[in-house]
Amino acid sequence: MGRRLQRLASEAAKFLTVGGVATVVALVIFNGLVHGYVGSPGVMHEQPLVAFVIANTVGMLVSYRGSRSWAFRHREAVGVAGGRLSFFVINLVSMVIPLACLAFTRYVLGRADPVADNIAANVIGLGLGTLARFWAIRRFIFPVTGSPDRHPDLAASARR
């Protein structure tokens, strides 16, 4: 495996690990708000979209910290405030994907049970949203910058 592909695989694995931790945080908050934990519906059972936004905003904070300090620490962030603003904009925009899946399940299919909510928002929607975020974050916040000397894998591929 070439160095460029190894770096991509390493970044993707770290990105997915950070995202996994952030997802667990968001999942616990979302399910607590919507479905509760003591046998009765959560306080936001009738507002699953708002609950999803709240839960995933907390998860987004966890994700940024992990992305900045571990997954993409070898890259310089670009943009306003070291990429924080762009990171949050990308995450907010990509949150539309799981929200649309959740809304479809809730309001078109009429399903409001925990399994339907979680499959729609936290499996299908999150999977599609994660692909969009990985591409956008690598492309716009932590791009490969600088001279090829700074990035030996790019220098090697440029010589080929």
Q: Is residue 102 part of a domain?
A: yes
Report the number of distinct structural domains present in the chain: 1
**Cβ-count burial 62-96 (b if 16+ within 10 Å, e if not):** bbbebbbeebbeebebeeeeebeebbbebbeebbe
Q: Is residue 40 part of a domain?
A: yes
Q: Is residue 105 part of a domain?
A: yes
Q: Does the structure show a pLDDT above 70 at 3?
A: yes
Residues of the domain holding 92:
3-144
Q: Is residue 159 part of a domain?
A: no
Record the pTM: 0.74
Q: Is residue 152 part of a domain?
A: no
Q: Does the structure show a pLDDT above 60 at 158?
A: no
Q: Is residue 149 part of a domain?
A: no
Q: Is residue 86 part of a domain?
A: yes
What mean pLDDT do residues 143-159 have? 50
